[in-house]
Structure 1
Amino acid sequence: MSAPVWNNKVVKWVDDRLPIISMVHHAAYEYPTPKNLSYMWNFGSLAGFILVTMILSGIFLVMNYTPHADMAFDSVERIMRDVNYGWLLRYLHVNGASMFFICVYIHIFRGLYYGSYKAPREVLWWIGILILLAMMATAFMGYVLPWGQMSFWGATVITNLFSAFPVIGDPLVTWLWGGFSIGNPTLNRFFSLHYLLPFVILGLVVLHVWALHAVRSNNPTGVEIKTPQDSIPFHPYYTIKDLFGMGVFLIIYLYFVFFAPNFFGEPDNYIMANPLSTPAHIVPEWYFLPFYAILRSIDFSFLGMPAKLLGVLAMFAAIIVLFVIPWLDTSKVRSSRFRPVYKWFFVLLIIDCFVLGYCGAKSPADPFMGLQGLQVITMGQLATLYYFLHFLVIMPVVGKMERPKPLPASISESVLKGGANA
């Protein structure tokens, strides 16, 4: 690409000495983008928008929050009642976490469906999974900060999981707590890390975008850009598309902020933390529920390993398996649009994740969706089994045996002649 010519003398003077404006121009204005991207590609930019919203609202909340076990709960109530628009900042932040995970989960499942993890985009995919892990750590520590009942007991349950590891488990839990029980040192550690990790996520996002621009965007057909006719400049075509998507997203986001701010929360978290009173049913936030269900589904020992350790390993394996997907998928076709068999297994995976989420929210002894004779724990075990079978067995076997539909010769052909029907 030729260097842009700036008519504004100030812009030209700055850009000649620090070409950051030219860099942004090439990356966000002239960047050649596949001409067939759907609205499913909006969720990456939406996730970036909500990340900035979370960082800004968090900075202003910190100005009024007191990270002390005796004052944290009251300081949150003061933010809600006495600080000008404190209620708005907190509801933007709390509901922003849920919106962030919704955007990222849709973004990941879109990548799974269209094969965005395949070569040459493996590193791009890895960085995305690292962002997810950093988000989970940040969200968990942030959930502890209000120091309500569910915050305190959720932290107790989750941190105790590390004690399942032999030899290092108990010292690790003591280090996490900053003592021999959850208290003020724990709250201070979680507060400092919760403030730090969003900037780590921001750095990973920069790497993610850098890797994206190095290998170019995937598209619904999975066919790479071959000619200039296959692409269009990012601006104005996709900036307008992203702005429309953001408008729809803001309607949904702000609906929860103003009309249902506690929809994703737990009522017990409006009770101050009490180490002597255990809530009837301890559950994590909704975005952790599938992993929580996998953890609880392992209720047996194997090869001398206790059930608790196996459950923790299974929970971590549910995320680690995502790192090796580029090699588990043996199909030579990238997009599931042209894979008539695998696309149905993908639908089953989505249903399976919702089932895991439901199981994670219910007590293990409850009947599954009111069905007598089928307990939540049993359904959780079946859903966990399918989750791992999908990636470790179904994906490689179907990739070898499936006969995909013929691919279009180019992106332009798919746009002009109807994609898979070309």
Structure 2
Amino acid sequence: MSFPWANEYKPTNPLMQWVDNRLPLPRFVYNAVGAGYPVPRNLNYMWNFGVLAGFALVLQIVTGVVLAMHYAANAGVAFDSVEHIMRDVNWGWMLRYAHANGASMFFIVVYTHIFRGFFYSSYKAPREMIWLLGVVIFLLMMATAFMGYVLPWGQMSFWGAKVITGLFSAIPLVGTPLQQWLLGGFAPDNAALNRFFSLHFLLPFVILGVIILHVWALHIPGSSNPTGVEVKQESDTVPFHPYYTAKDGFGLGIFLMVYCALVFFAPNLLGHPDNYIPANPLSTPAHIVPEWYFWPFYAILRAFTSDFMFIPAKLMGVLAMFSAILVWFFLPWLDTSPVRSGHYRPLFRKFFYLLVVDVLVLGYCGGAPAEEPYVMISQIASMYYFLHFLVILPIVSSVETPQPLPFSITEAVLGKDEHATLAPATPAVA
């Protein structure tokens, strides 16, 4: 985002001048997160979650690299190597719990970030590319998290791998060969564990690369804001540093308190006890479930229980599960309202809250046994989920009468007094 009033970086230190002239990294950092990057002055704490997501990713990479030094990707000793990390490696228990709960915190932050984007229509022009890259990041996160869930090689790890990779067998003609190619055999074993470990180690760095593109794309149009009104004048913005570094620092403090409470006081709260049982291909758990952050999509997968004409129920479930995320790619064109912020769209706001409730219901049903009434509730909730994006959102954006928008961000913050909002500051008189 370039504005005529943006500060230009001019290092004063001779060493920094020499570095900046030959490798403009100081200038890049200054323009990306320093006083050279103007940000709308009315951002609320919902805009903290992008920074928190980046912090969570770095936390996962650091703890994951250290854990990889002690983990053995072999089906015969994988479970024991995790126990070795927990019992024998210095601070291994903390690293393992920090990594496992860090994944949950990462998804909590990203889900909040996504739903903030839904409410404030952050996918609208000119920010479509930012949104599309964000959806790619989410898909990569899901793949990385699934492979990480397999690595402890407990009961849920083994049977989760068997169930999820078994979904590919629903694809006509190529499904079964594709499943065997992914596993390196007919069932999860050494080959699958080695492949999942390699990809689980690699994909976080791919995610980091896409996040760099995501932030790069963000800096072209600039950040959105709660009003949805674009920046019009210098008084609409403040420098990112120190205003939003301080605000993000406060959010990071809250994040760390919740995260540390999980790691030190309830490290297994979000896990499954069956994963402390070594994998046994001859003993199927009574209730196979993925990690909690997959539950809404798992409920959509299980909502299809009957074949439709020549289409098997399993294939429809798989297509619906992936479509539940792929539909987000089309949001910039499904929502045609000229107004971005949900604060000024009363009808849209009601349906947004219904969507939040619907996703929570799907999450609850995804973690519940595959029996009635949960299956029926999943079917109803899945139907509403797709109706919201494919039918309700386009209709609402066409027929809704939005409330009047403020003229500018400054007006939304300080009111309509022109003298108060636009007059230059006068020096104090002694």
TM-score in terms of structure 2 length: 0.94
Matched with 1:371 is none
1:324 counterpart (323, 330, 344):
330
Q: What residue is the counterpart of 1:267 in the other structure?
A: 273
Paired letter, 1:11: M
Aligned partners of 1:338 and 1:303: how far apart in 2? 45
Q: Which moved more, 1:277-286 or 1:298-307?
A: 298-307
1:53-73 Cα offsets, whole Å, 9 max, x none, are: 000000000010000000100
User: 2:402 is matched with which residue?
Assistant: 404
Aligned pairs, how many?
410
Report the AA paired with residue 364 of structure 1: A
Alignment of 1:168-247 (within 5 A): 168-247=174-253
> Which residue of 1 is the match for residue 295 of structure 2?
289
CA RMSD in angstroms comes to 0.9
Q: Which of 408, 412, 415 in structure 1 is aligned with 2:413?
A: 415
Match of 1:390 among 381, 388, 391: 388
Residues in 2 aligned to 1:135 and 1:212: alpha-carbon distance in whole angstroms: 20
| Alpha-carbon distance in structure 2 between the residues aligned to 1:12 and 1:139 | 43
Query: Aligned letter for 2:390?
Result: L
Once the two structures are superposed, residues 311-341 of structure 1 have per-residue CA deviations (whole angstroms, 9 ceiling, x without a partner) of 0000011001000011111211111100011
| Aligned mate of 2:154, from 148, 154, 178 | 148
* Cα separation, 1, equivalents of 2:415 and 2:113: 27
What displacement does 1:23 show?
Answer: 1.1
Q: Per-residue CA shift, 1:348-396, capped at 9, x if unaligned?
A: 0000000000100111224xxxxxxxx1111000000100000011101
CA distance in 2, matches of 1:352, 1:107: 18
Q: Distance in 1 between matches of 2:290 and 2:9?
A: 51
Q: Distance in 2 between matches of 1:3 and 1:111?
A: 30
User: 1: distance between equivalents of 2:91 and 2:113?
Assistant: 32
Match status 1:25 vs 2:30: yes
Residue aligning to 2:19: 14
Give 1:13 shift: 1.5
1:21-66 CA distance string (max 9 Å, x none): 0111111112110000000000000000010000000000001000
- Measured against aligned partners, the alpha-carbon deviations of 1:184-220 in whole angstroms (never above 9, x if no partner) come to 0000000000000000000000000000001110000
Is 202-211 or 19-28 further displaced after alignment? 19-28
Q: Equivalent residue of 1:214, what SS?
A: coil
SS at match of 1:215: coil
Partner in structure 2 of residue 132 of structure 1: 138
Letter in 2 for 1:416: L
Q: For residues 2 and 34 of structure 1, what CA distance do their matches in structure 2 show?
A: 15
Displacement after TM superposition at 1:181 (Å) = 1.5
Deviations 1:282-335 (A, max 9, x none): 000000000000000011222310000000000011001000011111211111
One-letter amino acid matched to 2:185: G
Partner SS state of residue 33, structure 1: strand
Picking from 237, 243, 256, the partner of 1:250 is 256
Q: Deviations over 1:266-286 (max 9, x none)?
A: 000000000000111000000
Q: Structure 1 residue 54 and structure 2 residue 60: aligned? A: yes
Aligned-partner residue type, residue 376 of structure 1: Y
Task: Please tell me the residue identity of whatever aligns with 1:405.
Answer: Q
- How far apart, CA to CA, are the structure 1 residues paired with 2:17 and 2:51? 29
CA shift for structure 1 position 2: 5.8
Quote the Cα distance in structure 1 between the aligned partners of 2:67 and 2:105: 18
CA distance in 1, matches of 2:128, 2:19: 36
* TM-score, scaled relative to structure 1: 0.96
Distance 2:191 2:410 in 1: 59
Unaligned runs of at least 5 residues, structure 1:
367-374
* Correspondence 1:103 to 2:109: yes
Match of 1:232, as an amino acid?
A: V
Tell me the distance in 2 between the aligned counterparts of 1:364 and 1:270.
Answer: 23
Shift of 1:3: 4.0
| Structure-1 separation of matches of 2:261 and 2:177 | 45
Percentage of pairs with the same residue: 63
- SS across alignment from 1:341: helix
Query: Matched residues in 1 for 2:230 and 2:336: separation?
Result: 19
1:414 aligned counterpart, secondary structure: helix
The CA distance in 2 between the partners of 1:273 and 1:96, in whole Å, is 24
Q: Which residue of 1 aligns with 2:422?
A: none
**In structure 2, what residue type is equivalent to 1:171?**
P
Q: Which residue of 2 aligns with 1:279?
A: 285
Quick one: which of 320, 329, 344 aligns to 2:350?
344
Sort the Cα spacing of 1:196 and 1:301 in 2 relative to 1 into closer, same or farther, 3 A.
same
Give the distance between the partners of 2:45 and 2:159, measured in 1 at CA. 40
1:80 corresponds in structure 2 to 86
Structure 2 unaligned blocks of 5 or more:
1-5, 417-430
Would you identify which runs of 4 or more consecutive aligned residues in structure 1 move more than 4 Å?
Answer: none
